[in-house]
């Protein structure tokens, strides 16, 4: 991911090397190249526009300092702005003072929520927590079973409603809001200190399911609502993210499928448009393909 963006930006900055001072024309030419590179990486148009304007303003206003030449100065500015868009400092999970901590997952179907539940569960267990996964996705046939399988692989507990499932092709019946609430009660009773609530997602945006997610949010009062988004989604990322921001008011973003050949634009767009930090990256189908997201490292990687 970001490889081609990275190459393009590096080439752009190379043109500035050796210049003693940057003219307005130099800055404009550079910003134009940055803008093109971001658009080609699938970053949303309004995000690119704002970003380019900030770079231009800062590059023109930059003091010529002794320590950095103009080319290094522009790189530094772009680095800082990229990092700011991605959330600034590394944002760690907020754990509740009075356990259990409740983490709710939201996102479109196929985004990688159920897989993430397992990854998060395994990761938290590795840190000495005792997580329980809650299967509140009653929309998709097999979702409950899938979560049970993931929990077993992760070696963590699961709370799943069973009555009502007739076959694997039929969605389980029941009230997902009640399941989520009961899951938290179960966690409290069995002394699990983190509850991860998996919720239903549709292929497209769906008002009813968004309402259901909002109802679950209201019922379990989560400490974190993580919006999981497939990094391959490209320009659609902005509308999807905005709809979920309005619908469930998420607190952090998880980028999934960063192992694919996504051009990376979704990452920048979602974080920028919603102002929510990217907290985790999912990088494969395995339960260990998961890491804390570090905005500074990602920005440096892009500018490497």
Residue numbers belonging to the annotated binding site: 107-114, 198-202, 256-259
Q: How far is the CB of 113 from ligand GDP (least distance, A)?
A: 3
Query: Which residue in the set 240, 256, 269, 272 belongs to the binding site for ligand GDP (CB under 6 A)?
Result: 256
The smaller minimum CB distance to ligand GDP, of residues 170 and 285, is found at 285
Q: How far is the CB of 2 from ligand GDP (least distance, A)?
A: 16
The site for ligand GDP, by CB under 6 A, has a size of: 18
CA 263 – CA 233 distance, rounded (Å):
10
Burial degree of 195 (CB within 10 A; 0-12, 13-18, 19+): buried
The smaller minimum CB distance to ligand GDP, of residues 155 and 260, is found at 260
**Binding characters for ligand GDP, 104-143, by CB under 6 A (x = yes):** ---x-xxxxxxx----------------------------
Q: How far is the CB of 231 from ligand GDP (least distance, A)?
A: 8
Nearest of 267, 272, 265, 123 to residue 196 by alpha carbon: 123
The smaller minimum CB distance to ligand GDP, of residues 22 and 258, is found at 258
Binding site per annotation, positions for GTP: 107-114, 198-202, 256-259
Which strand ranges, in their side-by-side order, compose the sheet holding 224-230?
A: 157-159, 131-136, 194-199, 101-106, 224-230, 252-256, 278-282, 290-292
Burial degree of 290 (CB within 10 A; 0-12, 13-18, 19+): buried
259 contributes a contact to ligand GDP by CB under 6 A: yes
Query: Which residue in the set 83, 101, 274, 282 belongs to the binding site for ligand GDP (CB under 6 A)?
Result: 282
Q: Please identify, among the stretches 40-48, 60-68, 81-89, 280-288, the one whose residues bind ligand GDP according to the rule CB under 6 A.
A: 280-288
The smaller minimum CB distance to ligand GDP, of residues 192 and 257, is found at 257
Q: How far is the CB of 268 from ligand GDP (least distance, A)?
A: 18
The smaller minimum CB distance to ligand GDP, of residues 70 and 112, is found at 112
Q: Please identify, among the stretches 50-58, 175-183, 264-272, 278-286, the one whose residues bind ligand GDP according to the rule CB under 6 A.
A: 278-286
Q: How far is the CB of 154 from ligand GDP (least distance, A)?
A: 13
73 contributes a contact to ligand GDP by CB under 6 A: no
Q: How far is the CB of 114 from ligand GDP (least distance, A)?
A: 3
Residues 197-226 contacting ligand GDP, CB under 6 A:
201
- First-last CA distance in the chain: 13
Q: Please identify, among the stretches 53-61, 127-135, 171-179, 256-264, the one whose residues bind ligand GDP according to the rule CB under 6 A.
A: 256-264
Question: Could you list the residues that contact ligand GDP (CB under 6 A)?
Answer: 107, 109-115, 201, 256-257, 259-260, 282-285, 289
């Amino acid at each position: 991911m970001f490889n081609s963006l990275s190459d393009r930006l590096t080439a752009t900055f190379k043109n500035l090397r050796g210049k003693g001072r940057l003219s307005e024309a130099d800055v404009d030419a550079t910003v134009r190249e940055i803008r093109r590179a971001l658009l080609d990486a699938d970053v949303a148009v309004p995000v690119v526009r704002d970003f380019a304007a900030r770079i231009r303003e800062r590059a023109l206003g930059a003091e010529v300092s002794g320590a950095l030449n103009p080319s290094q100065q522009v790189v530094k500015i772009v680095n800082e702005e990229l990092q700011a868009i991605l959330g600034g400092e590394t944002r760690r999970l907020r754990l509740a003072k009075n356990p259990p901590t409740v983490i709710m997952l939201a996102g479109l179907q196929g985004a990688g929520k159920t897989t993430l539940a397992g990854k998060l569960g395994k990761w938290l267990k590795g840190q000495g927590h005792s997580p329980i996964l809650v299967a509140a996705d009653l929309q998709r046939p097999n979702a409950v079973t899938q979560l049970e399988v993931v929990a077993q692989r992760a070696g963590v507990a699961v709370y799943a409603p069973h009555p009502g499932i007739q076959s694997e092709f039929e969605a389980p019946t029941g009230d997902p809001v009640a399941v989520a609430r009961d899951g938290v009660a179960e966690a409290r009773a069995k002394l699990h200190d983190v509850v991860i609530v998996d919720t239903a997602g549709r292929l497209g945006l769906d008002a009813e399911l968004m309402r259901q997610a909002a109802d679950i949010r209201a019922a379990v009062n989560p400490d974190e609502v993580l919006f999981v988004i497939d990094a391959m989604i490209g320009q659609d990322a902005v509308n999807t993210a905005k709809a979920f921001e309005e619908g469930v008011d998420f607190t952090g973003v998880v980028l999934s499928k960063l192992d694919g050949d996504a051009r990376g634009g979704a990452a920048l767009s979602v974080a920028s448009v919603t102002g929510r930090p990217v907290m985790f990256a999912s990088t494969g189908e395995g339960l260990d393909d998961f890491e804390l997201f570090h905005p500074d490292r990602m920005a440096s990687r892009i500018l490497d």
